[in-house]
Amino acid sequence: MGVRTGTSTEHRYQLCRDEFCDRFICRVYQEGRRDGYGEGHRRGWDEGYTAGYSKGFPDGQDACPLPHQ
């Protein structure tokens, strides 16, 4: 999962934080992660909140049958 260098350290694409890394796999991984996070963050909240709200929890914590303080 990485390339061994002369200093016997491993360059793992999952841990690479160099935005301008020369390794293709690092750039592709970072792009996918960035796009996936952005899409999930943007759609997840709006769609998830709307779906949960419409499923019967319009009163939030007050609708829960368990005691809360």
User: How many domains are contained in the chain?
Assistant: 1
Q: What is the pLDDT of residues 8-25, one digit of tens each?
A: 588 999 999 898 899 999
Q: Mark residue 56 as left, alpha or beta (left: phi above 0; alpha: psi -120 to 50; beta: remaining).
A: left
Look at residue 52 and tell me if it is in a domain.
no
**pLDDT tops 60 at residue 2:** no
Look at residue 29 and tell me if it is in a domain.
yes
Look at residue 25 and tell me if it is in a domain.
yes
How far, in Å, CA of 26 to CA of 36, rounded?
15
Look at residue 39 and tell me if it is in a domain.
yes
How far, in Å, CA of 39 to CA of 37, rounded?
6
Taking the model in full, what pTM does it have? 0.46
Look at residue 40 and tell me if it is in a domain.
yes
pLDDT at 58: 61
What per-residue string of b and e applies to 39-53 under the rule 16 or more CB within 10 Å gives b? eeeeeeeeeeeeeee
pLDDT at 19: 84
Which residue segment(s) compose the domain that 40 sits in?
18-44
Look at residue 32 and tell me if it is in a domain.
yes
Q: What is the pLDDT of residues 39-66, one digit of tens each?
A: 766 666 666 666 666 666 566 667 777 7
